[in-house]
Structure 1
Amino acid sequence: MTSLDSVLDKDGVRLTVEDAVATVTLTNPDKRNAQSPALWRALAQAGRSLPGTVRVVVLRGEGKSFSAGLDRQAFTPEGFDGEPSFLDLARGSDEELDGVIAEYQEGFTWWRRSDIVTIAAVQGHAIGAGFQLALACDLRVVAQDVQFAMRETSLGLVPDLTGTHPLVSLVGYARALEICATGRFVHAEEAERTGLANLVVPGDELDGAVRDLAAALLAAPRDAVIETKALLQGVTSRSYEDQRTAERAAQARRLRDLAGLSD
């Protein structure tokens, strides 16, 4: 086994790699891993920095909370040092505002790449941007003290960091609307029952459960996992017949590869 190598460590984000598993850690526990534009850019950079050998990415937060959401400094008139405030953004053109939000979203989009499987290890608060970051991952293992909440609507905003699509996919439109519009907390039992959480464990077993899941994911051949993930991701955009066709094409590729006949 190779040593744990640090690939990136900046703006509240640390990326380490050990063999086929990468770990992205939010490293500001004193502020409950509150998020900022600098952190979002660091998350995007972490995605670009992944070695090609990585198959599983674990996302975790140091301390008692996974992430309490957007840093409250964002709501002050001055905002973050060196960043446009929300008021400044609102004064920009539609194109400028769209471009800035698109840049923020980049830290949340790469987690569903078909060549990796991503796992969020979530404890304590996962609020707003923290909830959306957990939703960006393929799988979620949560501690019994987890508290999910989507508070953007309560602040007069909307969830805009790619969280709405996976939330509706997991819990359905009606429950997603209710969670977002009320801003209420979703605790561990409901998270597991509704599909937000793949597994709920005691807090002191969270890291071990994630390691076990990563090992199970690595046991299958990489190309088979990649093809399977791509098939499942495409279900919502394909008809039943189109999905059958996609399954046949994927299986043909796998059979030819196993037979040594692939290009």
Structure 2
Amino acid sequence: MQYENIKVEIQNRILYITINRAAKLNALNKYTLLELNSAIHELHNNSQAGGAIITGDGPKAFVAGADISEFADFDIEQGKLLAKDGHNTVFNLIENSPKPVIAAVNGFALGGGLELAMACHIRVASENAKLGLPEVGLGLIPGYGGTQRLTQLVGKAKALELIMTADMVTAEEAKTLGLVNHVTTQDDLMAKCEEIMNKILVKAPLAIASAIRAINAHFKASEGGYSVEIDEFATCFGTEDFKEGTQAFLEKRKANFQGK
């Protein structure tokens, strides 16, 4: 796919996805979401990519929200379709990715931008980051999973406060709340994300995928998290990576995982 709203490149097994609309503070419009869908499928299907880092172009914004002009005139059914399509084609796709996805949050991560970051498995924020869900100020609520993922990350009471007041939090406040994993200087942001990703990429890829599925199952009422963990744990025993990992441990050498 030829991208216009995002930039995509692979280096050293990392797929870099950059929202490339700095003039619009990297706001998510329908075309950007379509391109993100394509990029995440590329992550899943490209054997050269072990994981992805998502960021926004420029120092001002990760993603400063959705493009409000696109849905200002929507009715109930159009609003429902907008949210449902977003869940299915981008946000849930990222959360359920068998390969790790890290959000490099530079600047504003608001509305759909924070929802995009929360869909990622790990979040690293630069010191200048501001995070929030301001939708109630538009007469809306978060519609791309924000009510659910924010509650999972920071707890019910704080999620209610942040959503109902529409307050933004700083990077350090977000770290204290558990909303982001790490805070760095802006210059060190990508390096920190790469450091974390490279630690993951030397581990067994199929085990990483199993861990993601088991942890996600904890938050799904239709699935028993413990049962999924048991099944995923058992599945790992049938992989070549398990044999390689245990043999390497016994031989006191570094494992060479092949994702098989």
Report the TM-score when normalising by structure 1: 0.82
Q: Give the corresponding residue for 1:197.
A: 180
Aligned pair count? 239
Q: 1:153 aligns with which of 136, 148, 153?
A: 136
CA distance in 1 between counterparts of 2:14 and 2:211 reads 19
| Contact 1:41-1:104 within 8 A present in 2 as well | no
Secondary structure of the equivalent of 1:66?
A: strand
Letter in 1 for 2:67: D
Q: Give the corresponding residue for 2:197.
A: 214
CA distance in 2 between counterparts of 1:229 and 1:55 reads 14
Residue-by-residue CA offset, 1:88-137 (whole Å, 9 max, x unaligned): x21xx73x543343223323221112411110000111111111111111
1:55 pairs with 2:50: yes
Give the CA deviation at 1:227.
Answer: 1.2
| Contact 2:131-2:170 within 8 A present in 1 as well | yes
Q: 1:67 aligns with which of 58, 63, 66?
A: 63
Secondary structure of the equivalent of 2:148?
A: helix
Secondary structure of the equivalent of 1:35?
A: coil
Give the CA deviation at 1:243.
Answer: 4.2
Residue-by-residue CA offset, 1:34-79 (whole Å, 9 max, x unaligned): 221221222122223333322211101111211111235x1xxxx5
Secondary structure of the equivalent of 2:55?
A: strand
Secondary structure of the equivalent of 1:231?
A: helix
Residue-by-residue CA offset, 1:212-254 (whole Å, 9 max, x unaligned): 1110110111111111111111123479xx5444433333322
- 5+ unaligned residues in a row in structure 1: which ranges? 1-6, 80-84
Letter in 1 for 2:6: V
Give the CA deviation at 1:186.
Answer: 0.9
1:38 pairs with 2:36: no
Q: Which moved more, 1:14-23 or 1:165-174?
A: 14-23
CA distance in 2 between counterparts of 1:185 and 1:148 reads 5
1:167 pairs with 2:150: yes
CA separation of 1:248 and 1:127: change in aligned 2, threshold 3 A? closer
CA distance in 2 between counterparts of 1:17 and 1:151 reads 34
Written as runs of structure 1 = structure 2, the 5 A alignment for 1:9-158 is: 9-10=3-4, 12-50=5-43, 51-53=45-47, 54-64=49-59, 65-71=61-67, 74=69, 79=70, 85-87=71-73, 89-90=74-75, 94=77, 96-105=78-87, 106-158=89-141
The Cα RMSD (Å) is 2.4
Secondary structure of the equivalent of 1:69?
A: coil
| Contact 1:43-1:108 within 8 A present in 2 as well | no
Q: Give the corresponding residue for 2:253.
A: none
Q: Give the corresponding residue for 1:253.
A: 235
| Contact 2:96-2:216 within 8 A present in 1 as well | no
CA distance in 2 between counterparts of 1:247 and 1:102 reads 28
CA separation of 1:170 and 1:145: change in aligned 2, threshold 3 A? same
Q: Which moved more, 1:177-186 or 1:16-25?
A: 16-25
Letter in 2 for 1:45: S
1:235 pairs with 2:218: yes
Report the TM-score when normalising by structure 2: 0.83
CA separation of 1:127 and 1:245: change in aligned 2, threshold 3 A? closer
Letter in 2 for 1:62: D
